[in-house]
Amino acid sequence: MAVLPIRITGDPVLHSPAAAVTAFDDELRTLVEDMFETMDEAPGVGLAGPQVGVPLRLFVYGWTDDDDVLHRGVAINPVLWQSPLAVGQVDEDSESEGCLSFPGERFPLRRADRVILQAVDLDQRPFEVHAEGWLARIFQHEYDHLDGVLYVDRLGHPYAKAAQKAQRKNSWGVPGLSWLPGRDHLED
């Protein structure tokens, strides 16, 4: 297993739709193992193929809820169904999220409260997860990566402006930038 470099906003692979996974082989198994190791080392709660430079429709996730239940898995060629978004002002505390491809920054973003994730696993077995709350947010965030969308692309005013300022300050937004969990230190 290996920790993979995580691409930073501006890299074309992050801003283009990913292709369906068609080869379920040892190479895919190794990629998934490496993605779990990279996500854990970062540390993060999700990581999509495009974030490690692989333009395929898959993501890994790992999060322990308030009841100490571990939600961990891989979603390959997923489909995501979501409930309508709530209306009103976004809550800066409970709706704040970050992204390993926009490292060290957090902004509030409204997400659906409930989702249904349908995908296949490494053995091409279909599965379905009904998720609420934070796990629903993780699924939406990672699914967006597969469509070439970063969470900062969805931000409203004034947060979009703050994200653009952070991108300029860090000299992001150009191809070829990445960081390596465990080696590069990024401050929150």
Enzyme catalytic residues: 142
| Sign of the dihedral defined by the CA atoms of residues 23, 129, 14, 179, in that order | negative
Ligand-binding annotation for 99, yes or no, is yes
Residue 30: alpha-carbon gap to chain centroid: 19
Q: Annotate the chain with DSSP letters as a single string.
A: --PPPEE-TT-GGGGSPPBPP---SHHHHHHHHHHHHHHHHTT-SEEEGGGGT--BSEEEEEEE-TTS-EEEEEEEEEEEEEPPPPPSPPPTTTTEEEETTEEEEEEE----SEEEEEEE-TT--EEEEEEEHHHHHHHHHHHHHHTT--GGGG--TTHHHHHHHHHHHTT-SSTT-EE-TTTS----
Annotated binding site: 99, 141, 145
Annotated binding site for Fe cation: 99, 141, 145
